[in-house]
Amino acid sequence: MKTLGIETSCDETSVAVLDDDRIVASEVFSQDIHARFGGVVPELASRAHIAKIDVLAAAVFDAIKLPLSDIDLVAVTDSPGLAGALLVGISFALGIHTQAGIPVTGINHLEGHLYSLFCGTRRDIPYPFLGMLVSGGHTAIYLVHDFGRYDCLGQTVDDAAGEAFDKIGKLLGFAYPAGRAIEGEAAKATHDADIRFPVARMPDSSLDFSFSGLKTAVKYFCAEKGTDWVRENRPLVCRAFQKSVIDSLVRNLVAASTMTGIRTVGVAGGVACNTALRNAITDRFGERAFFPGPALCTDNAAMIARAGYERMKRNSLRFPRMSPSAGL
């Protein structure tokens, strides 16, 4: 079965085709226009999606060498995301649906991230598992009973983990998005230098996260040390900040595992690209820790197509309905 995936929820325009769970073509365009503003500008994102979506679709069809009529399903992100950006993808998908009579389904972007774990992986992830989503917009742990059956066990009460990377990156002089650059800078540090940033503790047995206190702590630390010291010691600051985020993520994932008795974990979303995070989670969960390939961690249409394939198999297609703030 061939699924055409379309993703335009934020600042990546992406089109992909899957044959069952195997990616046969994938195009991702990351909009670098936002870098100079230090964050995503919604109206610019919508316009950039409009400029690129048909170019990427044409490239995908060139690569697969099949006509549109060979596509069995169009899967498009319809929630959550930037309203104008979502509308571009949904309109494009509905255009294909209307013109070519191909079935269409809306996909929740967060569900797409979880199903990036199932894109052409060599090993099947056994249900139930703990799915941790760590991206620029979301940070949460889900108990995944099965496709479509999720319990949210904990989520951020303020910033997402990726957002914390991006904000600290801005403070330290890196362009948006800064996660990868901070990881690279942290890797240059050879020791911890006794810098300890706080890991937020939530009340009782809560599995929620909070990163705003960490952000403030780094800000005051840098102000106190002064520009010259920070410039010379940037790798140490990045290393300490990154360690604090990772400690918080790993601590809650381990607590979720203890609480539920589930030892299989899947980690997805842009921050799951981070090698130090992957290593810390693999240290705790060994072979039962699953990650998508790095290209599938950040936003992409292959994961949306993968979730669409799952909906088709289960006879649970749903017409796209734009919902900018819908959770999973």
For residue 226, the minimal CB distance to ligand KG4 (Å) is: 26
Q: In the bound complex, what is the minimum distance in angstroms from residue 227's beta carbon to ligand KG4?
A: 23
- Which strands, in side-by-side order, build the sheet including 289-290? 149-155, 139-146, 129-134, 265-268, 289-290
Instruction: Give me the helix-helix angle, 275-285 and 234-260, nearest 10°.
Output: 30
Q: For residues 127-156, which are near ligand KG4 according to CB under 6 A? A: 135-137
Among 5, 80, 154, 162, binds ligand KG4 (CB under 6 A): 162
d(CA 81, CA 84): 9
Distance in Å, CB of 135 to ligand KG4, minimum: 3
**Which of Zn ion, ligand KG4, none is residue 273 near (CB under 5 to 8 Å by kind)?**
ligand KG4
**Nearest CB to ligand KG4, comparing residues 27 and 166:** 166
- The candidate with the shortest Cα–Cα distance to 181, out of 190, 194, 172, 191, is 172
Residue 179 within binding range of ligand KG4, rule CB under 6 A: yes
The correct pick among 3, 13, 14, 135 for binding Zn ion (CB under 5 A) is 135
Tell me the closest approach of the beta carbon of residue 40 to ligand KG4, in angstroms: 9
180 binds ligand KG4 per the rule CB under 6 A: yes
Residues 6+ apart with CB under 8 A from 99: none
**Residue 189 to residue 195: CA distance in whole angstroms:** 12
Residue 279: which residues within 8 A CB-CB, separation 6 or more? Answer: none
Binding residues for Zn ion restricted to 245-304, rule: CB under 5 A:
299
Binding-residue pattern over the window 65 to 104 for ligand KG4, x denoting contact by CB under 6 A: ----------------------------------------
**Please, what is the angle between helix 212-225 and helix 234-260, to 10°?**
160
Smallest separation, CB 269 to Zn ion (Å): 6
Rounded to whole angstroms, the Cα distance separating 175 from 155 reads 27
CA dihedral 153, 124, 28, 76 (to 10 degrees): -70
Site residues for ligand KG4 per CB under 6 A = 10, 135-137, 162, 165-166, 177-180, 183, 269-271, 273-274, 298-299
Site residues for Zn ion per CB under 5 A = 135, 299
